[in-house]
Amino acid sequence: MKVLLFYAPSFWFRTFKKVLEQAATQDMEATCKKAVVVFYQVEAEDMERRSKVLTKFIKNIKWLAGKFNSRTVVLHSFNHLSTSKSPPEFAGAFIEEARGRLGQAGYRVIVTPFGYLNEWKLHVAGDSLAKVFKEL
| CA distance linking residue 92 with residue 70, whole number of Å | 24
At 82 the pLDDT is 87
Mean pLDDT of the 48-56 span: 97
The domains located in the chain, with CATH, are 2-126 (3.50.80.10)
Which of 6, 9, 81 has its CA nearest to residue 46? 81
Each residue's pLDDT tens digit, 53-72: 999 999 999 999 999 999 99
Distance between CA atoms of 88 and 79, rounded to whole angstroms? 11
Whole-prediction pTM: 0.93
